[in-house]
């Protein structure tokens, strides 16, 4: 007899107000762990109000059927609360399935095409995106008092030293966002020659000191209008970026297309989109150089692997986002090992060597700039048992 989903639990801790975990538990004792990030209350409500009444009592191994059913009449695209809730549940279902077959997730997906994959470092500080999101502000979270890697402060002030420290660890690609101050000052409608020069300086310092030993990505966080984005992208051509990410707000694709066609810099977008139709529209533009997806924002493992296959048919590589939580990093690593048109995995060393390890039982090992799957079945991670006993831990349960 097939197992049945008997309970769905959501777990939050106040210390990390953007993180939400979900446990899907079956009546044969199997379980899986999922995760999503941002607005956890809304995603949690969707899981208990809409997903649980459907999923309880169902065979947890029929992931494809559930993915189809949980794609709602509303909330089927973008990265809204319905999509984030569905994504977390999908990750948990894949973990449960792979664990119940006693295989690592990449094996359950059809096998790895590589044993490890190159990482790039997103140069955030330890507390970056750790506060409750305040729309449109607080993009920096500069906290020089913390004792971890303060890579955001470092890229603003000593990017060449930061690059040297990454190269020492074997990490040969880094992403920075020194244009954001200028964008905030003008709501993205103008950049002065002086601000442009200030924002270019970190890139130039890295190139001057380290030449082509370091690949550099410029993150623009969708903050610029069309003409100013073009100006910024054209300036970045001089340092030969690996990609320029999210030049304009992602609600008007012809604007994005215009920017991509106006610059020789490779343009990458996608982490704020969700569902395969969103990605089809991006690929149909025929002007993007890389598609990014966040598996916890875009529809889970099920949707991300389909998106990646679709991108492959366009001869476009993909990359999976990490700047959120450890379960997403581990699950993305499995998916990256399985995905032919993926050449690099994002990580944030300030999170990885900071707080990620305090929440889960293990992390995907990173050595000499390469990440590989953790030991064990499923994605390999469980929450640290003491998380559930913390006074600031809140668990909500829907059960048969
Ligand atoms: Mg990004």
- Residues 284, 338 within the same domain: yes
Q: How far is CA 223 from CA 136, 200, 234, 277, 336, in A?
A: 9, 16, 16, 24, 28
pLDDT number for residue 134: 53
- Residues 9, 95 within the same domain: yes
Q: From ligand 1's centre to the CA of 216, what distance in Å? A: 13
Q: From ligand 1's centre to the CA of 105, what distance in Å? A: 25
Mean pLDDT by 10 residues, the chain (400 residues): 96 96 98 96 98 98 97 93 98 98 98 98 89 57 66 96 98 97 96 98 98 98 97 98 98 97 98 96 98 98 98 98 96 98 98 96 98 98 97 98
242 belongs to a structural domain: yes
Counting Cβ atoms within 10 Å, is residue 139 exposed (0-12), middle (13-18) or buried (19+)? middle
Structure tokens at 56: 């309880």
Q: From ligand 1's centre to the CA of 43, what distance in Å? A: 21
Q: From ligand 1's centre to the CA of 218, what distance in Å? A: 9
265 belongs to a structural domain: yes
Q: From ligand 1's centre to the CA of 270, what distance in Å? A: 8
Counting Cβ atoms within 10 Å, is residue 300 exposed (0-12), middle (13-18) or buried (19+)? buried
Q: From ligand 1's centre to the CA of 245, what distance in Å? A: 6
Q: What CATH number is associated with residue 113?
A: 3.20.20.120
pLDDT number for residue 127: 84
pLDDT number for residue 140: 56
Q: From ligand 1's centre to the CA of 131, what distance in Å? A: 18
377 belongs to a structural domain: no
Q: From ligand 1's centre to the CA of 86, what distance in Å? A: 21
358 belongs to a structural domain: yes
- Residues 341, 203 within the same domain: yes
Q: From ligand 1's centre to the CA of 237, what distance in Å? A: 19
Q: From ligand 1's centre to the CA of 6, what distance in Å? A: 36
pLDDT number for residue 54: 98
CA dihedral 201, 206, 211, 213 (to 10 degrees): -150
- Residues 232, 159 within the same domain: yes
CA dihedral 208, 154, 295, 305 (to 10 degrees): 20
- Residues 119, 14 within the same domain: no
Split into its structural domains, the chain has a count of 2
376 belongs to a structural domain: no
Q: From ligand 1's centre to the CA of 136, what distance in Å? A: 15
- Residues 23, 75 within the same domain: yes
189 belongs to a structural domain: yes
3-state SS, residue 320:
strand
Q: How far is CA 298 from the centre of its chain?
A: 10
Q: From ligand 1's centre to the CA of 66, what distance in Å? A: 29
Q: From ligand 1's centre to the CA of 396, what distance in Å? A: 31
- The residues, ordered by sequence, that sit 6+ positions from 84 with a Cβ below 8 Å of its Cβ are 20, 36, 37, 38, 39, 42, 43, 46, 296, 297
- Residues 24, 168 within the same domain: no
Q: Is the pTM of this model over 0.85?
A: yes
- Residues 96, 169 within the same domain: no
Q: From ligand 1's centre to the CA of 222, what distance in Å? A: 9
263 belongs to a structural domain: yes
Q: From ligand 1's centre to the CA of 179, what distance in Å? A: 13
- Residues 78, 134 within the same domain: no
pLDDT number for residue 8: 98
Q: From ligand 1's centre to the CA of 121, what distance in Å? A: 12
Q: From ligand 1's centre to the CA of 289, what distance in Å? A: 14
Q: Which range of residues forms the domain containing residue 75? A: 5-102+382-399
Q: From ligand 1's centre to the CA of 271, what distance in Å? A: 6
pLDDT number for residue 52: 98
User: How far is it, in rounded angstroms, from Cα 358 to Cα 341?
Assistant: 32
68 belongs to a structural domain: yes
- Residues 136, 117 within the same domain: yes
CA dihedral 115, 119, 125, 128 (to 10 degrees): -80
Q: From ligand 1's centre to the CA of 208, what distance in Å? A: 25
- Residues 221, 254 within the same domain: yes
Q: What CATH number is associated with residue 61?
A: 3.30.390.10
pLDDT number for residue 130: 79
- Residues 77, 113 within the same domain: no
């Amino acid at each position: 007899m097939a197992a049945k989903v008997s309970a769905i639990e959501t777990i939050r801790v106040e210390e990390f107000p953007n993180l939400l975990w979900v446990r899907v538990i079956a009546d044969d004792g199997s379980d899986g762990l999922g995760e999503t990030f941002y607005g956890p209350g809304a995603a949690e409500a969707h899981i208990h109000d809409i997903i649980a009444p459907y999923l309880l009592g169902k065979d947890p191994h029929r992931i494809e059927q559930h993915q189809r059913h949980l794609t709602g009449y509303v909330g089927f695209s973008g990265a809204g609360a319905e999509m984030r809730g569905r994504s977390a549940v999908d990750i948990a279902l894949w973990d449960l399935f792979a664990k119940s077959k006693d295989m690592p997730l990449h094996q359950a997906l059809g096998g790895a095409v590589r044993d490890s994959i190159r990482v790039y470092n997103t140069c955030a500080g330890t507390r970056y995106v750790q506060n409750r999101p305040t729309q449109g502000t607080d993009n920096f979270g500069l906290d020089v008092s913390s004792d971890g890697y303060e890579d955001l402060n470092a890229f603003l002030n000593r990017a060449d030293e930061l690059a040297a420290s990454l190269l020492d660890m074997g990490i040969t690609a880094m992403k920075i966002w020194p244009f954001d101050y200028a964008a905030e000052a003008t709501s993205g409608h103008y950049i002065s020659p002086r601000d442009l020069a200030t924002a270019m300086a970190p890139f130039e310092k890295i190139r001057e000191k380290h030449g082509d030993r370091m690949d550099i990505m410029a993150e623009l966080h969708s903050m610029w209008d069309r003409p100013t984005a073009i100006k910024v992208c054209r300036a970045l051509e001089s340092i030969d970026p690996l990609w320029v990410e999210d030049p304009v707000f992602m609600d008007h694709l012809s604007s994005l297309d215009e920017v991509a066609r106006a610059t020789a810099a490779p343009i990458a977008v996608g982490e704020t989109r969700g569902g395969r139709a969103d990605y089809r529209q991006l690929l149909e533009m025929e002007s993007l150089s890389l598609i990014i997806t966040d598996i916890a924002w875009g529809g889970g493992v099920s949707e991300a692997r389909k998106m990646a296959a679709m991108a492959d048919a366009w001869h476009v590589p993909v990359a999976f986002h990490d700047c959120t939580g450890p379960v997403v990093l581990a699950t993305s690593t499995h998916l990256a090992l399985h995905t032919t048109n993926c050449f690099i995995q994002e990580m944030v060393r300030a999170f990885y060597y900071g707080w990620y390890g305090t929440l889960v039982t293990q992390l995907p090992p990173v050595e000499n700039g390469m990440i590989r799957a953790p030991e064990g079945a499923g994605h390999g991670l469980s929450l640290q048992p003491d998380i559930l006993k913390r006074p600031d831990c809140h668990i909500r349960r829907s059960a048969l």
